[in-house]
Chain A
Amino acid sequence: MLDLVWLIPLFPAIGFLINGLLGRRLGKGVVSVVGPSAIGLSFLTSILIFFELINKPPSERLFEKVIFDWVVSGSLQTVIGYQIDPLSILMALVVTGVSFFIHIYSVGYMHDDPGYARYFTYLNLFVFMMLNLILANNFLLMFVGWEGVGLCSYLLIGFWYEKDSAANAGKKAFIVNRVGDFGFILGMFLLFTSLGQHGIWTLDFTEAFANANKLDTATVTAIALLFFVGACGKSAQIPLYVWLPDAMEGPTPVSSLIHAATMVTAGVYMVARCNVLYNMAPIAMAVVAIVGVATAIFTASIGFCQYDIKKILAYSTISQLGYMFVAVGVGAYAAGIFHLMTHAFFKGLLFLGAGSVMHALSGELDIRKMGALRKKIPITFGTFFIATLAIAGVPGLSGFFSKDEILWMAFSSGRGHFLLWLVAAIAAGMTAFYMFRALFMTFFGESRVDHHVAHHIHESPKIMTVPLMVLAVASIIGGYVGIPHVLGGANHIHEFLAPVVGGGAEPVKAQAIFSLISEAWAAGGGAGGHSAALELFLMAVSVVIALIGIGIAYFLYLKNPALPRMLTEKWKGPYRLVSNKYYVDELYQFLFVNSLKRLGTGLWKGFDEFVIDGTVNGIAYFIGWLSGVMRKMQTGFVQNYAFSIVLGGLILAVYYIMRAFF
């Protein structure tokens, strides 16, 4: 079965080809079968392979399969090859599983769209590319998937291309991601050439990581940071997060699949995959953790003032991705992947729920025009509520376990720090606040729904609600694979991932930015001897913070619905700053877009047309002028010629006479 790993990406590829080439001719019925079943089959294959893998002893859980030679040039020998290990198969399960249900949901959601076949074509292509990214056994193929998912994201964000905002958002996503890819590709080059100096020319994961110890710290740090630039692009971290909120222009299942559950987590996966490199580069890890935590709190704050339900979820996604980077940044790779998985369930569900709300309200996105929907669309409400509890970190649901583990590791890991924990914990409280704000404004209180829309409100069909329920179940129980030891759990996911990412963060003291403060902290007895009691205490603190967030949301949006408006009136300046997303988009527009356009125009008009062509045409005119002058001498009158001859003769005579005398 392991040998058949190539089947996992093959099914979506076949689905893509059938839907893409024949989709419009085959009709909706066939497309609706081909699209989801292609993913279903690869989900099934992944499950079978997963069970085969766990039957092997942990040390033997690595399998590679080379399909064919790809780019082969001198010392560069790359292949199309896939790799199965605990990390990649877990990702494959999450991706194919969540994708499968989102595909089914899409059958209902997109049913009346004229671009139905095109939609499933892109969606299948996306899954194919995502699986290449995950299953690749070398950097270059990973990069193929990496840019490939970016392409699908571009195509799907701009799916309704007649809308200018959608087309713009797609383009923005692609170009911002290209900035990230620039880092990725340079990271690859640096890794390749610096390993090459030791006689190892490879982009293969296994080989590169096995030889990484030959490299010095500075080089590894540079490589790790360059890869992280790529991760920042794909996973929407500061400063490259700006494309993700705009990406909400795409159909909602796309936001759920690509911009919440799968693609945007690729950066986290990549850092976890390269854990060998990051472990060697403490500074790079510190950067990852700091960028992660900064993104987490920064975008959580933007979430406060958004009214577009999908935008709220988008900022929340960025914020949650920040958590995952905190985890991998402190060396808790398994915790990061764990949160990646639970997040795929509950955030995927939240988006699908938002889609179901839009479906009920004829496409309405503004939570100010919702309210009191809980009775009218009960299944959507119930599942959305579960997901909100999960993301807020309410004990017992999946999000609690994974988020809590990240918080604990941010504090206790050798590379962690009290401040990391504190900021992350506050951000968790903020998350609980704005998520419940959205929940209350959408489903509770009084109905503010436009009366034209109000009597159309209806629950979505089964084909959409069943995926909601499945993901709701996953959002609840998904956390039980990683119950911390302190609560008496076994933390299976840690054990499972250990062969790839090591047994969690080793308490190696970082020589990084934190080291001085960390040591002072440790000396003060803070981090010393992380007792079970401390872990439980911090857990309780984070639960309390989450409850406070929920409480404030309850107070402001259910108890005193008039209060938020008064507050925004009072704090006009800060409110405007935050609700305009700190004007980051405007700043980027000014700094990069406008200045490059101006430069382009300047070079074109100023240099190309004026300097170069001016010179060339100038020479041409000069020659033209010169020949014009010369032409005048050739008048055709014999007298003139005779005169010239006499004149010339005279000058010559004078010259020789002068020479003879002087």
Chain B
Amino acid sequence: MDILGIPILSFLIFFPLAGAIILLFIKKEETIRWTTLAIALVEFVASLPLFFKFDSATAAMQFLEDWWWVEAYGISYKIGIDGISLLLVLLATFLTVLCVLCSWTAITFRVKEYMISFLFLETGMIGALVALDLILFYVFWEVMLIPMYLLIGIWGNPQRRIYAAIKFFLFTMAGSVLMLVAILVLYFINLKATGRGTFDVLELYKLGIPMGTQHWLFGAFALAFAIKVPMFPFHTWLPDAHTEAPTAGSVILAGVLLKMGTYGFIRFAMPLFPNAALDLMPLISILALIGIIYGALVSMMQPDLKRLVAFSSVSHLGYVMLGMFALNTQGVQGSIYQMLNHGISTGSLFLIVGMIYERRHTRMISDFGGISKVMPVFAVFFMIVTLSSIGLPGTNGFVGEFLILLGAFQANIVYGVLAAAGVILGAAYMLWMFQRVMFGKITNPKNEGLKDLNAREIITLIPMVALIFLMGIYPKLFFSKMDVSVEKFLKDFRGKVEMKADLPAPKVAEIKK
């Protein structure tokens, strides 16, 4: 499938970049905003055929493109999607549109640079999600980093934006450097084993790696991804980054960037090093569980709305990791679904916080109270999103959470029970926050004259709410796309784990004998 003669995935990667270049030649801020919106919309519309033309019957990579990039070293420009990445790509193009909309009046200076950063970021996100070559993936992975760094550092909150931006950059960098080393080691192992140098993931999946090495390599990949997710105890960059970033930055950070971590596990770390993943399953599951409970408890006590949502992300992403490492159909499907859900619910929460921040220039919960009275429309949206985040049946959050809990329960009853207990805390911190912001009498006179949502804001939120219900009521629409891919992922994983005996794994094997 081509658009303007360019294969669709390449188009999706490079169209925002081309758009960014066009922006360079525009002077008027208003025109820049409209142009960016148009670019983001075209990009989103162009990504829709992926959904409709996607063949749900096959687990093979689709819309595949494969060219040499640096042939001498086996680096290729190989991109494609399967049921796992399809929905994430759509989430990225979808959220970018909303991000442009919610930045409309919030960004008042250097609008051009801001919009260029955003489009650049979109290129990075799409690229990282469709890349099937490790070097290509690594390049896009790093490409995402720079615009996000700028978004926080320039358009962030004046007080602590530099600290937050550098913290974000260094945390992510620390992980990804090790990953790069691991990628190179993997290349040489493969070169030795097959005589062919390649960074093609699909080729490398087939490689049998000795156990000891596998652990090291998995560790390097897992660290990079765990920081990005972020998993406990690597999460402390997240509250700072979220709090200081502009609204759109928080939305895209929560919505897509964090998913790069979880996606990295399912696309790279787990299928490349299945035995190591299996060995470390208890560790990762326990860290995920700690994240669920810890994130919820810390979130409960936050005085700052954005920090509260940020810690709730730690909790929610804990569910995603737990489901993924349950290594059964319900767990993994729930995990992927929850990635999307989190993008939508938490993305919406950040949009909503941004909307009152724009009005009141404060994010402190104690500055609010009684807002329902003056902003009834806002209250409805906020309530729906809160319920989605709590995982109320009928909303998207329930489907994902239910499957993850069921998957975890099947993998290990204790995990299932503990994670289900986290659901109680989820209701506690969200409803308490909602009550303090929205209910009660208006005590702060500054809140009395607040204007309800305007048309642009409503238009931003309506698609989110529609998705919340669509995904909650008719999840089959989305599950049917990922079914086969997830089954294949699990089958391959199990297959490789069972082949363990054939691998040169002297130490483990000898001890067992």
A: residues with CB less than 8 A from B are 68-76, 140, 143-144, 147-148, 151, 154, 158, 161-164, 167-168, 170-171, 174-175, 178-179, 181-182, 185-186, 189-190, 192-193, 596-597, 599-601, 603-604, 607-608, 612-613, 616, 620
Contacts and interface: CB of A to CB of B under 8 A. Distances in A.
B100 to A, nearest CB: 28
Given A185-B402, A189-B416, A607-B294, 10 more contacts: A71-B479, A72-B476, A72-B479, A74-B333, A144-B393, A147-B393, A162-B441, A600-B298, A604-B297, A612-B233
Contacts of A161: 372, 438-440
6 contacts: A68-B474, A70-B474, A73-B479, A76-B330, A170-B435, A604-B302
Contacts of A182: 420-421, 423-424
B328 A74 contact: yes
B95 to A, nearest CB: 24
A151 B301 contact: no
B416 A186 contact: yes
A164 B440 contact: yes
Nearest to A75: B329
B197 interface: no
B373 A73 contact: no
B406 interface: yes
Contacts of A74: 328-330, 333, 487
B375 interface: no
B432 interface: yes
Contacts of A601: 301
A566 to B, nearest CB: 41
Nearest to B474: A68
Max chain B CB contacts within 10 Å: which of A74, A154, A161, A185? A74
B421 to A, nearest CB: 6
Contact of A185 (B236, B420, B439, B476): B420
A141 to B, nearest CB: 9
Interface string B340-380: 00000000000000000000000000000010110000000
Contacts of B439: 158, 161-162, 164, 167
Interface in B300-330: 300-302, 328-330
A167 B383 CA distance: 14
A604 B298 contact: yes
* B-side interface mostly: helix
Interface in B376-432: 387, 392-394, 398-399, 402-403, 405-406, 409-410, 416-417, 420-421, 423-425, 427-428, 431-432
B479 A168 contact: no
B175 interface: no
A168 B435 CA distance: 8
Nearest to A180: B424
A603 B233 contact: no
A77 to B, nearest CB: 10
B282 interface: no
B395 to A, nearest CB: 10
Contacts of B406: 76, 189, 192
Interface residues of B, number: 54
A178 B328 CA distance: 26
Contacts of B387: 151
B394 A144 contact: yes
A189 B409 contact: yes
B333 to A, nearest CB: 5
A178 B409 contact: no
A163 B441 CA distance: 7
A162 B373 contact: yes
Interface of B: 167, 170-171, 233, 236, 294, 297-302, 328-330, 333-334, 370, 372-373, 387, 392-394, 398-399, 402-403, 405-406, 409-410, 416-417, 420-421, 423-425, 427-428, 431-432, 435, 438-441, 473-476, 479, 487
A406 B421 CA distance: 35
B392 A147 contact: yes
B336 to A, nearest CB: 10
A71 B297 contact: no
- Secondary structure at chain A's binding surface: helix, strand, loop or mixed? helix
Nearest to A146: B393
A85 B158 CA distance: 64
B330 A175 contact: no
A589 to B, nearest CB: 13
Contacts of B417: 186
Contacts of B373: 162
B424 A186 contact: no
Contacts of B170: 620
Nearest to A161: B439
Contacts of A70: 473-476
Contacts of B330: 73-76
A600 B394 contact: no
Given A147-B393, A600-B297, A600-B298, A76 B431 contact: no
A596 B328 CA distance: 33
A73 B333 contact: yes
Contact of B424 (A143, A162, A170, A179): A179
A429 B204 CA distance: 78
B329 A600 contact: no
B297 A603 contact: yes
Contacts of B236: 608, 612-613, 616
Contact of A175 (B297, B402, B410, B431): B431
A73 B407 CA distance: 10
Given A76-B403, A161-B372, A175-B428, A148 B233 contact: no
Contacts of A158: 435, 439
6 nearest A-B pairs in the assembled complex, by CB-CB distance: A74-B329, A167-B439, A144-B393, A600-B297, A600-B301, A161-B439
Contacts of A75: 329-330
A71 B476 CA distance: 7
Which interface residue of A70, A73, A162, A596 has the most chain B CB atoms within 10 A?
A73
B399 A193 contact: no
B409 A193 contact: yes
Given A192-B406, A599-B297, A148 B394 contact: yes
Contacts of B405: 185, 189
A148 B390 CA distance: 13
B407 to A, nearest CB: 9
B390 to A, nearest CB: 9
Contacts of B424: 175, 178-179, 182
A82 to B, nearest CB: 15
Contacts of A171: 431-432, 435
A603 B298 contact: yes
A600 B487 CA distance: 39
Nearest to B431: A171
Contacts of A151: 387, 392
A168 B233 CA distance: 33
Nearest to B424: A178
Contact of B476 (A69, A143, A164, A168): A69
A600 B300 CA distance: 7
Contacts of A147: 392-393, 398
Given A178-B424, A616-B236, A71 B298 contact: no
Contact of B334 (A73, A148, A604): A73
A154 B370 CA distance: 17
Contacts of A613: 236
A656 to B, nearest CB: 37
A642 B508 CA distance: 57
B300 A178 contact: no
Contacts of A175: 424, 427-428, 431
Contacts of A148: 392-394
A71 B370 contact: no
Nearest to B300: A600
A85 B99 CA distance: 51
B409 A186 contact: yes
B438 A597 contact: no
Contacts of B475: 70-72
B329 A73 contact: yes
A203 B277 CA distance: 31
A22 B281 CA distance: 51
